Structure 1
Amino acid sequence: MWFEFWVNTEGNMAADPFVRLHTTWQANGLNRYYVTMEVNFATAKITVWNGTNPDHTQNQSLQWTHDQLKNQWGLYHIGWWLTWSAEGVPTLSPVITNRFGVVQTFGDAALSATPVPPGALDVVRFTMQNLRAECFQVSQMASKPSTYALITQSGSWQRGAVLDVPRLPLATIPRAEGSAWDVITEIAKATLATAEFNSDGYFRWKDHTRWASPPTEANLTVSSARELAGLTISEEIDACRNYVAVKWANWARVKSGTDGHLWIGDSGGGIPIAPGATISRAIPIGEDRWDARTPNTYLDTLPDCVSITTTAAGSTAAYGVVEVGTTRDGGTVTLTMRNRGTTTVYYQGTTLYARTAGSAGPSGPTDAFATAQNRASQSVYGIQTYEHPGGGWVQYRDTAAELAESVLKAGEYPIPSLQSVEILADPRLELGDVVRVVDSTGAALNTLAWVVGIKTNGEDGRITQVLTLRGTKSNGAPVDAGLVPDLPVNPGVGPPQ
């Protein structure tokens, strides 16, 4: 079994950066064994543990030292190769690849003090501190990857996403509905980010900091000499927001409840699963339930268990033989069982565990607000308010305050809007691009603007593109140059009689 992930320690001088994989193995029924793997970049230590104590530091351990981890900051690929002997002894071997493609392998470590009986991987807990990590996955492979090409899968896949550094932490994942893209869109709206696929097929996520300062360069230039056919400029005097409130969900003191669980049963009655074969069972589940957890293998169909036996009569459980998984599609949970052994086993039934959507505790999070304001803008335009809904994805006050400041800086003064900017169609233009608009015939413009809308039309063999643009900076507060304010009353006229 191959555990792998990428980490980046560059630019992080915080104390004790490490990554830890803590795996739980369900063996011989409901007994638990723990295999833990850790890489510590501060001490340059690579450590593995194995035993029955949930506190991994109390179990048998073996350790390697790799000084490069603390002396060379940057991007690393971390891999762990795990095998089991017939007696249940786990053997682990770390494989570390630095950003220059240099592969460092280490000797095998057999942790024989506590052999693990036949069972299955139940839980993987991924813990990291003071670094960035991505692309964690677990694979079943025939042999340990030993070359750079095999370790990084070079040539077999291509990175299709570019993401900004994560900035907004979560206390818990709020309830979400719809497709994956619906959820991504919801998060982007809540955090003032942009999510898009560009014309080359890459997914790009840019966070709210992209609006922090006006851009100085354009992706493209459109001019009245060639591309520009028409435009309309407007600037509403009150089109600003100088008092911003961002709603955030305060999860402090909210505890998880124990009510609301649901048991979903399915009777198999001794369905055979031949060696190498896979069977599936479709089990209905209410739309108001959370996803069912993958059950553990056991002799009886106890709650949160699946019964798989060596005979049709069901007298002996078959541990460590069948790979079990669950998937959810609407109101149906599909239980999949694959026999990885050499003899036929039998599915007797299952009792799945699922919680109700309302079981987060006796009370949910409380709504709070973080605010930001510009009094200079308020003195000119009055108080123009904007309340930004966090959608449940903003869960810390510091996060909300950062977003409030970002919104305020983007809209504390009116920004010119360029509507109906008709140009020759250019497929290179994308939402979020910066264009330079040069109009030497009508509006006498030479300015940068964000692309916030694109509409492409084709008619009678003619393709046109209409852009909606937003200026990158305001024109500042109005100045009454050369004007003398009127006196409160006419000095040449006496009081009325």
Structure 2
Amino acid sequence: MQRPDDPTLAAAVDSPTRHPLVSLRADWSRDGTYSHALSDLSDVTRDVTVERSLTGDLPPECTLVEGYATAKLTAGLGGQRPSDPRDIARMLSPFRSDSPLYGLPEVDTPITCDLGFTTDAGPAMLRQFTGSTRSLAVSSADRTVSMESLDQAGRLRVPISLPPDAEMDAMNADPEYWGFRWLVNTQWIVDYVLRRNGIFFSPPPRPNCLWAVTCHGGMAPDIGYSHEYWNGRANNLATDPLYIPGVYGLAANGGPNVVAIVNTYMVAPFTPGLTSDTAHLFEFYIKAGGTNAFHPFADGLVISASTYSRQFNGGTFEIDITTAGQLTLSAYNAATKTLTVNGPKFSGAAAWHAVGCWVKYDAHAGTLTHQWMVDGVVTPPATVPLTSFSLYADGGNGEVWAASTLPVQCMQVSLAPTPPANWGKIPHVSQADVDTGLNWLAGLPDVVNGDGWQVIRDAVAAEYGIVGFDESGRFSFVNRDTARARATAAPVRSLTSAVSLSDLTVSTAVDSVRNVITAEYTPRLQTHDPVKVWESPAVSALDSPPGTTTITITLPFRTQLTRYQLTSLPPTSWPSTSDTDAFISLNRDTGARVSNVTVSRYQTADDKLQLRISNPNSFWVRFARDSATPALVIWGPGFVSGSTTKQTWTNTASVSTYGQRVLSLPNNEYRQQGDSAAAIAGSLLTDLAAPVPVLSDVPVVGDPRLELADIVTLSDPDGLGGPIRAHVIGIRRALSDTDGLSDTLTLRAEPPNRG
């Protein structure tokens, strides 16, 4: 409920003499200011209706509080504003050149609607709708305008492609042996979609961000690609959580009992010292103190960025932390550490800290300048010698290693010529409320250019949560456990036949009972054994001249490949019987084998790969075994559907009373794990064990404070009795010149024996 503690507004709502108010505004300029000359339509609003409801996957008779929230506004406009030369119909006509909107798009325009009352303290307005216009019908006959608008779900328009991400089939089959689970939580999926649509639950990526991992229930890059789960270990999978609450949602857990280590790639080359103003910014949140304990597999790593490969070839900058809480920055020339400088040091008990390190390498001067930020406190810049640092990259994008040596989240690396202004002094204010999901996936479904709102709806439907945008346009996702906990709260409003109720009809049907639940689930998995990803289609397909040639190829399916140098084989060893990336290179003109050609592969997108061919000879080379057999092959992980499991859960007490009443959960590609499915089924069996009273189309006097999922009580002492405790799952709120403000509610009542 909005403003539940405002007694003046409450008195105005319940007053026998009510003076409702409306504010309807359109942002025709689309600049967020609502300052266009025609923005305020309040004076010409004759009637307005806002319909808000929850729509779920369960049968209607179950009437469970779950699903996705949608809202629609319809408004009728008529008359003339005092400041306008013409009536509103002519002012909004798209064909009048003298209209202030002539040439401007009238549909898909941001809209807000507030409703309220005149109170003893003055006007009290509450936001009822935030969305955008979907249709505008202008009537010449009666000079009126009909407007229809939909809520903020329309903001989620950016096509969504979920990255290829899944745990290995062998790990899924025997997690105890592997000691870790690379699972993905619903929170990660929801946040991934929101971020692509400019809604940031946690800090947004910096401008020119090269790589980012949120850790919000998954370790796949938010910005970046081709990740490899290098290692992970939990001492006890039953007791050591892989993720814990962080500053913003979930964070990757780390410490003496658990660690996760990933190897990923940036979206562009990592080029320290490329120009005089090239510098990089490393940022993350970490839970650390003056005394820290690490897992035996951890070495203090937080983030490293390499021009080629960490501590192997090229140059690497690495941010580490010690068990004593000391932050350090190290530089590596290939495998040799050439510099270590200390940053800030934590003290006291472990707590969450925002950390940043700005690094600038001057290749000409042979120096490195660094500056640190911890919780908004920025150190002075310091410059130290760095005379040995390799910039070798071999044409590929930068490599990143990241680890949860300690709990960590919101990691990113970006290009930054200077440290950010007000660095760390203004914490990010979350733009959405994203709960931790009850559902964990083995792998992300193969979604390519999907509808963002549909992706979120499907992911949340897999666990029967609640998702949508509220009256102010703020996004929220609530899992079933959170929703059920809220259901025990005190009612926000009492509706009585003497004051609020116009009519009340209660129906109770045994069809609302479901005490046997069946579900199928199929994990999405990465193959432990590599599969053939691509092979040259023809003997001449990759013919390359002297020098270096880069060829981009499109893969037949999306996958994740690490940087790799292919193996050169003699013709007698072809076809390769192993899973090694390999080729045969021949002199194109003579057919003689050439052994000094090198080929490296670099992934640039989920379905794109670059081959970098270095031919030091004076002649063209061909990749073939002979004149008829092409010879270059790429291997890598495949992504497949695992075995489908069908499971049944039963509430035996309910069965003994009402008999078996089966609910078969619809198949959902986001429901993949038995333990997650069992938790969801258990929650549903509890809620659907007994008949549920249903109250549809309950007319009450309008109360703009009421919201979806609010709990109310209804009392009809001379009729049906009560109090009846119920959840609001639908609201139709209407204001008109003739009927005032009224609500029609759809309610899910609790059984009479529950208070």
Aligned to 2:690: 413
Which residue of structure 2 aligns with residue 383 of structure 1? 660
Shift in Å, 1:401:
1.9
Over 3 Å counting, the alpha-carbon distance change for 1:258 and 1:83 in structure 2 is: farther
SS of the counterpart of 2:495?
A: strand
SS at match of 1:450: strand
Structure 2 residue 395 is the aligned partner of structure 1 residue 122: no
Secondary structure of the 2:751 match is coil
8 Å Cα contact 1:22/1:36 also seen in 2:
yes
1:193 is aligned to: 465
> CA–CA distance in 1 between the matches of 2:646 and 2:384?
52
By how many angstroms is 1:251 displaced? 4.8
Distance 1:151 1:367, change over 3 A: same
The 1:467–1:46 alpha-carbon spacing in structure 2 relative to 1, beyond 3 Å, is same
Q: Distance in 2 between matches of 1:189 and 1:450?
A: 19
Q: Distance in 1 between matches of 2:701 and 2:455?
A: 34
Counterpart residue number, 1:141: 416
What is the DSSP-based 3-state SS (H/G/I as helix, E as strand, rest coil) of the residue aligned with 1:191? coil
User: SS in structure 1 opposite 2:683?
Assistant: helix
TM-score by length of 2: 0.43
1:44 is aligned to 2:319: no
**Closer/same/farther in 2, CA of residues 261 and 73 from structure 1, 3 Å limit:** same
Q: What does 1:149-168 align with in structure 2 at a 5 Å threshold?
A: 149-153=422-426, 158-165=429-436, 167-168=438-439
Secondary structure at the counterpart of residue 231 of structure 1: coil
Partner residue of 2:346? 68
Q: Tell me: CA distance 1:108–1:246, structure 2 relative to 1, closer, same or farther (3 Å).
A: farther
Given that 1:91 and 1:108 are in contact with CA atoms closer than 8 Å, whether structure 2 keeps it comes out as yes
Distance 2:711 2:723 in 1: 13
Measured after TM superposition, the shift of residue 185 of structure 1 is 1.0
Q: What is the identity, as a one-letter code, of the residue corresponding to 2:441?
A: L
* 1:91–1:111 CA contact under 8 A, matched in 2: yes
Question: Taking structure 1 as reference, are residues 21 and 467 closer, same or farther at Cα in structure 2, changes over 3 Å only?
Answer: farther
Q: For residue 467 of structure 1, what is the amino acid of its counterpart?
A: L
Listed as ranges, the gaps of 5+ residues in structure 2 are: 1-279, 542-551, 565-602, 609-633
Alpha-carbon distance between aligned partners in 1 of 2:644 and 2:467, rounded to the nearest angstrom: 26
Amino acid at match of 1:186: D
Q: Supply the AA of the counterpart residue of 1:237.
A: V
CA displacement, residues 327-382 of structure 1 (integer Å, 9 cap, x when unaligned):
99xxx99xxxxxxxxxxxxxxxxxxxxx9xxx844x52222245432211110111
Q: Contact conserved, 2:343 with 2:372, CA < 8 A, in 1? A: no
Which deviates more from structure 2 when the two are superposed, residues 108-117 or residues 435-444? 108-117
User: Aligned pair count?
Assistant: 392
The letter for the 2-side match of 1:5 is: F
User: How far 1:226 sits from its partner (Å)?
Assistant: 3.1
Distance apart, 1:173 and its partner CA = 1.3
Q: 1:172 aligns with which of 413, 438, 443?
A: 443
Of 225, 236, 240, which aligns to 2:498? 225
Alignment partner, residue 436 of structure 1: 713
Supply the distance in 2 between the matched residues of 1:230 and 1:159 (Cα, whole angstroms).
42
CA shift digits 1:306-330 (9 cap, x unpaired) = xxxxxxxxxxxxxxxxxxx9899xx
Structural mapping, 1:457-468, within 5 Å: 457=734, 461-462=738-739, 463-468=741-746
Specify the alignment match of 2:475 in structure 1: 203
Structure 1 residues 262 and 193: CA distance shift in structure 2, 3 A: farther
Shift of 1:190: 0.7
Matched residues in 2 for 1:90 and 1:373: separation?
68
Opposite residue 303 of structure 2, the aligned amino acid is L
Q: 1:189 Cα deviation (Å)?
A: 0.5
Letter in 2 for 1:199: E
- Cα root mean square deviation, aligned: 4.8
1:187, distance to aligned residue in structure 2 (A): 0.8
Aligned residues of 1:45 and 1:63 also touching (Cα < 8 A): no
- Counterpart pick for 1:2 among 262, 281, 302: 281
Does residue 1:250 correspond to 2:523, yes or no? yes
Distance 2:709 2:284 in 1: 31
**Counterpart pick for 1:404 among 651, 676, 681:** 681
Deviation at 1:106, TM superposition (A): 8.9
Asked if 1:184 is matched to 2:456, the reply is: yes
Q: CA deviation at 1:9?
A: 7.6
Q: Is the 8 A contact 1:164 1:206 kept in 2?
A: yes
Verify the 8 A CA contact 1:39 1:46 in the aligned structure 2.
yes
* TM-score, normalised via structure 1 length: 0.63
Letter in 2 for 1:201: G
Question: 2:321 and 2:667 mapped to 1: Cα distance?
Answer: 36
